[in-house]
Amino acid sequence: MNAELKDVKKVIPITPVESEPDEEGELISLYAAHEKIYPRSVTGMFSNWRWIMVWVTQIIFYGLPWIEWGQRQAVMFDLSVRRFYIFGLVLYPQDFIYLTGMLIIAALSLFLFTAVAGRLWCGYACPQTVYTEIFLWFEKLVEGDRAARIRRDEGPMTAEKFGRKVVKHFLWIAFALYTGFTFVGYFAPIRELASDILKNNMSTWGYFWVFFYGFATYGNAGFMREQVCKHMCPYARFQSVMFDKDTLIVTYDAERGEPRGARSKKADLTKLNLGACVDCSLCVQVCPTGIDIRKGLQYECIGCGACADVCDTVMDKVGYPRGLVKYSTENAMKNKWTQQQTLRHVFRPRILAYSGILLAIILAIMVSLFTRTPFKVDVVRDRGVMARVVDAGTTENVYRLQVMNATESDQRYRLSVEGLPGLVLTSEDTVSVHSTEARTIPVRVQLPFEGASPGSHEIHFTIESLDSPGKLIEKSTFIVPKN
* Residues in touch with ligand SF4 (CB under 6 A): 250, 252, 257, 260, 277-283, 286-289, 291, 293-294, 301-307, 310-311, 314, 324-325
**Which residue type sits at 183?**
F
* Choice between 306 and 452, CB closer to ligand SF4: 306
In 155-255, where do the E strands start and end? 249-252
Helices (H), 144-158: 146-154
* Choice between 104 and 136, CB closer to ligand SF4: 136
d(CA 361, CA 370): 14
Q: How far is the CB of 267 from ligand SF4 (least distance, A)?
A: 14
Q: How far is the CB of 296 from ligand SF4 (least distance, A)?
A: 10
Cα first-last separation, the chain: 97
Residues 394 and 412: beta-carbon distance below 8 Å: no
* Choice between 133 and 139, CB closer to ligand SF4: 133
Q: How far is the CB of 180 from ligand SF4 (least distance, A)?
A: 28
* Choice between 8 and 277, CB closer to ligand SF4: 277
Please state whether 439 falls in left (phi above 0), alpha (psi between -120 and 50) or beta: beta
Q: How far is the CB of 350 from ligand SF4 (least distance, A)?
A: 23
Which stretch of DSSP H or E encloses residue 264?
Answer: none
d(CA 284, CA 287): 5
Q: How far is the CB of 131 from ligand SF4 (least distance, A)?
A: 16
Q: How far is the CB of 344 from ligand SF4 (least distance, A)?
A: 24
* Choice between 260 and 457, CB closer to ligand SF4: 260
Handedness of CA 383, 386, 391, 393 (dihedral sign): positive
**Which residue type sits at 359?**
L
Q: Specify the 3-state DSSP secondary structure of 203.
A: coil
* Choice between 231 and 475, CB closer to ligand SF4: 231
* Choice between 42 and 64, CB closer to ligand SF4: 42
- Looking at the DSSP bridge assignments, the partners of residue 424 are 446
Helices (H), 336-463: 339-346, 349-371
Q: How far is the CB of 132 from ligand SF4 (least distance, A)?
A: 12
Instruction: Say what the alpha-carbon torsion angle 325, 331, 336, 337 is, to the nearest 10 degrees.
Output: -100
* Choice between 254 and 357, CB closer to ligand SF4: 254
Q: How far is the CB of 150 from ligand SF4 (least distance, A)?
A: 18
Geometric angle at alpha carbon 266, from 260 and 270, rounded to 5°: 50
